[in-house]
Amino acid sequence: MTRLPYATYDVFTDTPFAGNPLAVVFDADGLSDARMQTIAREFNLSETIFVRAAEYAQHAASVRIFTPTKELPFAGHPTIGCAIALAERNRNGDNARDLLLVLEERVGPVRCGVKLAADGASFAEFTAPKLSQQAGADPSLEVAAKALGLSASDIGFDKHVPSLFSAGVPFAMVPVASLDALGRAQLVDAKSSLTLGATEVFVYTRAEPNAAHSFRARMFAPEIGIVEDPATGGAAAAFAGVLARFEPLGEGWTTLPILQGVEMGRPSLIGLEVNIEKGVLAGARIAGKAVKISEGLLFV
C-alpha cells in the first residue's frame, strides 16, 4: 500500500472555512487516471489537483485536475491553491519570500507568482494560459431564463447578454439584472446547462454600490458533479472575454474583482485583471489568497 501526502486549502480567501475547498495530492506520479478520478470522487470537492514530476526541469510540477466526475485541462482555484501549497511545502525555514513557478497543466504551462505569508494565508497570481474567446453562439434570453428558473426580464443588464466564452474550459455566461435575481437563480435541473451550450454556467451581475469588488457571481455545474461552486478561477479567466466584449474598458490593465460564493456561505474574492490593447483582449491575470486547512496521508 502506498502512502501519499495531501493537504487541503480554502482558496480565494484568507479565512478558514470560507472560499473554495481544494485537495492537493503530492507525489502522484504512480496513480492511473482511473485512480485519480476515484480519489477526487472520495474527496468530493469541486476539484482535486494531483502533483507529479515536471516534464521540464525548470518547471515546478506537472499537475492533473479532476472534479468528482471528470478531468479538466485547466482550473483557476486549483492553480492558485497548488502554487501556494508547493511554495509553502518547499519554503526554507520560516522565511517568507516572493517566488515564481510554472505548473504544467493540460492546457499548457501556467506561470504563477507566489507571495508567502509568515503565518496565515499566502497569495498567488497567475497569467491566464489562454486568452478568452467566444465558444459558440449566444444563448437567447428566453433559453437562459428558462434554464435558471427566472423571467426574461431578469436576464441582461447594460450591453451584457448571455454568451459562451472559454479560456480553456467553456462557460455559459449569463448576466442578470440584479442581486435579487442572482440570489434566485438556480438551474432547473442538471440537464438545463446543456440548453445553454456548456456544462458550466456562470451567472453574474454588477456589485452593490461602493463595494470593494466589481461583480457578484455564482457558478453551477451539476453535470460534472458540482452543484454550485464557491469560487471559479477558470470562469474568471473566461469572463475576461465577456468584459472585453461588453464593457467600455480603456487601454491597458483594469482591475475588476469578483465576489462569489456568498449564497453558499463561503464568500470568495477572485482578483481579475484584464489587459486591453488596441481595443481587444490581450491578457488576463487571476489572483487570490489561500489558507491551509488540513494535511495527512492517503492510503492508496
Residues annotated as part of the active site: 47
- Residue 265 CB contacts under 8 Å (≥ 6 apart), including other chains: none
Q: Do residues 254 and 226 make contact, with C-beta atoms less than 8 angstroms apart?
A: no
Q: Do residues 276 and 244 make contact, with C-beta atoms less than 8 angstroms apart?
A: yes
Q: How many CB atoms lie within 10 A of CB 92?
A: 6
Grid cell at residue 272 = 481579475
Cα dist from 183 to 30, 143, 248, 263, 264, whole Å: 43, 19, 26, 7, 10
Phi, psi (rounded to 5 degrees) for 149: 70, 30
Q: Do residues 268 and 76 make contact, with C-beta atoms less than 8 angstroms apart?
A: no
Beta bridge partners of 22: 9
Helices (H) and strands (E) in the chain, counts: 5, 18
Measured between alpha carbons, how far is 260 from 277 in angstroms, rounded to an integer?
Answer: 28
Beta bridge partners of 70: none
176: left (phi over 0), alpha (psi -120 to 50) or beta: beta
- Please list the alpha-helical segments (H only) found in 65-190: 76-89, 141-148, 179-184
